[in-house]
Copies of this chain bind each other. A is one copy, B any other.
Amino acid sequence: MRNCNLHDVPSLVDCRHCASRALAVCNAIDDAHIDALESIITPICRKAGQIIFEEGDRVDHVFNITAGVLKTFKMLPDGRRQITGFLMTADILGLAGREGFAYGAEAINEVHLCKIARRDFDGLMRRYPELEHRMLAVARDELAAAQEQILLLGRKRADERVASFLLGLSKRAPQRRLLSDRLDLVMTRADIADFLGLTLETVSRVFGQFKKQGLIALAGPHEVQLKNIPRLRELAGGETEPA
């Protein structure tokens, strides 16, 4: 498991101009003290398919994604997999769980992360209570998103799930969104299926059906254009703000 760019890895930590700073938790700390932050951060990078950590690993780090996309997932003993989230730039990774991580995390494309030791992070929160306040706010949002996903998995039909998924993606992905209504699906059909509690065949069929009905257009399997957002919203079931 080698890192991505072995030549330019360390010491290039520049929180002030970090792409994810605007949205991230880090801006709880003012510019003057940001070197305190920089000194405890280790930037890491994982290529597509590489593991960041496994379910149950001791929680002694928190991560902040600065570029790329990854998935978090849980497995059953017989190999069934449930993806619990797709995380991207500015997202925090590693909040769920106290003793061990509640899920494993794997890179979907090349991912860059800031890695912070839990011990250091706790110290930082003690010095900057505003930081802890923001972490709690992030946790609240994630909790709300999880409830939304629980509703989806417990009570929505296949087409409703896919519609919710597309709208959910379009709400996020500030940089991944190509144009106003075009979005780039980085993940495979199998990933989408494991996120939505379906099979890849069903996901593919719903995409096909949406295309025929003019709800979406597909320029290749990974570029989707939402052509009828009101109807998709209707299918998704009204409010759909899964963070």
- The reply to whether the CB of A9 lies closer than 8 angstroms to some CB of chain B is no
- The reply to whether the CB of A97 lies closer than 8 angstroms to some CB of chain B is yes
User: A77 to chain B: which residues have CB within 8 Å?
Assistant: 237-238
A96 and B147 contact, Cβ closer than 8 Å, known pairs A132-B132, A136-B135, A139-B136 = yes
**Residue contact A139 to B129, C-beta cutoff 8 Å:** no
A150 and B151 contact, Cβ closer than 8 Å, known pairs A126-B129, A135-B136 = no
**Residue contact A102 to B139, C-beta cutoff 8 Å:** no
Secondary structure dominating the interface of A: helix
Tally of this chain's copies: 2
**Residue contact A155 to B81, C-beta cutoff 8 Å:** yes
User: A147 to chain B: which residues have CB within 8 Å?
Assistant: 74, 84, 96, 102-103, 146
Q: How large is the interface on A (under 10, 10 to 19, 20 to 34, 35 or more residues)?
A: 35 or more
**Residue contact A76 to B155, C-beta cutoff 8 Å:** yes
- The reply to whether the CB of A98 lies closer than 8 angstroms to some CB of chain B is yes
**Minimum-distance CB pairs A-B, first 9:** A154-B197, A146-B146, A153-B153, A139-B139, A102-B144, A96-B143, A82-B154, A97-B144, A82-B151
Can you list 7 A-B contacts (CB < 8 A)? Answer: A76-B237, A97-B141, A97-B143, A97-B144, A98-B144, A132-B133, A143-B143
